């Protein structure tokens, strides 16, 4: 039975697309068949982060409108054959998504894959509510700063009321991924600590992704961070997250990029 997971946050720029790509790739690397779906119609990014932007022919809107079959629109990843992307349309806007069309696409995706990961757009409007509507579980992506935390709290309220699962009276499973975390700066009080965020949001923690240049590097080359450099700190955090999603118990740590002794001794060249 397929699991539909929505990656959402409320606020923009906190790492939803990066997280979608990283989780999707890590699940595929663990042998699952995965589809990642971009719901950010009009501002699509997932194709770039996945490195598939030059192979887009049909998109989600074409499938929703019945202009293309799902198989025609799905783009299979060149590096992992059990990972597919359903891109969003860049030329349309969120109003082009119909309730029935999205329901039909999600139904079809459920039959084909083990995991369907929906990359939600920012905001609480149509695109975001449709992305979460059919989900079985949600990953809420939050940065350790107050505006991101409050927006996530708002999104959790919507997950508990506007989704099909909530309307059936069931409980939506929700997990928190804290991105761009810097333990040193949190200790200095420059950013919220993990416990502060957890206290406000009161949902279980799935992973802490450390602030790292690897994330930017991976998205610039169009490769999910878990595939681009699986040994990097953010990749290890995402891989742990996937193991927890699959039911394993993994102790919670903030992975860091190890520096060699020489690197520690010579931090920076003097001016």
Partner 1 sequence: MPGGERSGRSADMVGSTRPLSIPEQQKRHRVTQPNSRPPIRFRGRSFMALVLAPSAPVHDWLEDLDALSRRSPAFFVGRPVILDVSGLGLDRADLTALVSELKARDVTVMGIEGAKSGSLGEGLPPAPAGGRPVDEVATPDAPAPTHAEPPRAARSLILDQPVRSGQTILHLEGDITIMGSVASGAEVIAGGSIHIYGALRGRAIAGASGNPDARITCRKFEPELLAIDGLYRTADDLGPDRRGQPAQIRLDGDAIKVAALE
Q: Decide whether 59 or 151 has the Cβ nearer to partner 1.
A: 151
Q: Decide whether 162 or 217 has the Cβ nearer to partner 1.
A: 162
156 touches partner 1 (CB under 8 A): yes
Q: At what angle do helices 233-245 and 16-29 cross, to 10 degrees?
A: 70
Contacts of 170 (CB under 8 A, 6+ apart): none
| Subset of residues 186 to 225 that bind partner 1, contact rule: CB under 8 A | 199-200, 202
Q: How many residues does the chain have?
A: 271
Instruction: Among 76, 154, 246, 259, indicate the residue that binds partner 1 (CB under 8 A).
Output: 154
126 touches partner 1 (CB under 8 A): no
Answer whether 24's CB lies under 8 Å from 117's CB. yes
Interacting stretch for partner 1, rule CB under 8 A, among 30-38, 77-85, 113-121, 151-159? 151-159
Of 33, 26, 132, 112, the C-alpha closest to 69 is 112
Of 102, 105, 138, the C-alpha closest to 20 is 138
Instruction: Among 78, 99, 125, 157, indicate the residue that binds partner 1 (CB under 8 A).
Output: 157
166 touches partner 1 (CB under 8 A): yes
Size of the site for partner 1 (CB under 8 A): 17
Encoded tokens for 118: 């929906």
Binding residues: 11-18
CA distance 202 to 191: 18
Q: Decide whether 166 or 205 has the Cβ nearer to partner 1.
A: 166
CA distance 147 to 50: 28
What sign does the CA torsion over 153, 235, 43, 52 have? Answer: negative
Encoded tokens for 175: 């997990």
Instruction: Among 136, 151, 211, 214, indicate the residue that binds partner 1 (CB under 8 A).
Output: 151
161 touches partner 1 (CB under 8 A): yes
Q: Decide whether 75 or 155 has the Cβ nearer to partner 1.
A: 155
Q: Decide whether 168 or 258 has the Cβ nearer to partner 1.
A: 168
Encoded tokens for 148: 């991101």
125 touches partner 1 (CB under 8 A): no
User: Which residues sit at the interface with partner 1, rule CB under 8 A?
Assistant: 124, 146, 150-151, 153-154, 156-158, 160-162, 166-167, 199-200, 202
């Amino acid at each position: 039975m397929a699991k539909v997971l929505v990656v959402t946050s409320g606020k923009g720029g906190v790492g939803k697309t990066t997280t979608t790509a990283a989780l999707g790739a890590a699940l595929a690397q663990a042998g699952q068949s995965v589809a990642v779906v971009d719901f950010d119609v009009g501002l699509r990014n997932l194709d770039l982060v996945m490195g598939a932007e030059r192979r887009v022919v049909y998109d989600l809107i074409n499938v929703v409108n019945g202009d293309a079959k799902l198989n025609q629109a799905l783009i299979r990843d060149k590096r992992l054959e059990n990972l597919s992307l359903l891109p969003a349309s860049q030329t349309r806007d969120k109003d082009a998504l119909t309730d029935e069309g999205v329901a039909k696409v999600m139904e079809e995706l459920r039959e084909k894959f083990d995991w369907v990961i929906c990359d939600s757009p920012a905001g609480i409007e149509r695109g975001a509510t449709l992305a979460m509507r059919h989900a079985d579980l949600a990953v809420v992506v939050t940065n350790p700063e107050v505006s991101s935390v409050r927006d996530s709290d708002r999104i959790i309220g919507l997950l508990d009321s506007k989704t099909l699962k909530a309307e059936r009276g069931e409980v939506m499973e929700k997990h928190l991924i804290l991105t761009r975390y810097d333990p040193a700066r949190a200790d200095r009080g420059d950013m919220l600590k993990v416990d502060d965020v957890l206290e406000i949001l009161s949902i279980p923690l799935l992973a802490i992704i450390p602030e790292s240049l690897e994330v930017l590097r991976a998205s610039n080359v169009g490769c999910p961070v878990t595939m681009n450099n699986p040994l990097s700190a953010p990749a290890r955090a995402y891989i742990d997250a996937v193991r927890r999603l699959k039911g394993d118990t993994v102790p919670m740590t903030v992975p860091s990029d190890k520096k060699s002794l020489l690197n520690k001794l010579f931090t920076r060249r003097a001016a």
